[in-house]
Structure 1
Amino acid sequence: MENLLQNIEKFLSFSDEKLAELSEKNQALKLQETKKERGGHA
């Protein structure tokens, strides 16, 4: 049973890392899009 809990905790920590990574990538993409839009309208 304890092994199962360890696996779940490990999985959740990986999920948190992945979410943070995806969040950073998403923010970078949004910044790129914003720059393109500003450049296109200027």
Structure 2
Amino acid sequence: MRTTLAIDDDVLLAAKAMARQQDRSVGEVISDLVRRSLRPPQA
């Protein structure tokens, strides 16, 4: 799904760097990071 988000420049630069290191798209990296942050905390 496509959507538009306002992302701080430093966050986008970090996501782009991660994407290059992992040979993934920026969208994949950001989706993975958001998915992890939305998981319930481990007990």
**Structure 1 length normalisation: TM-score?**
0.38
**Bigger relative contact order, structure 1 or 2 (CA pairs below 8 A, ≥6 apart):** 2
**Structure 2 length normalisation: TM-score?**
0.37
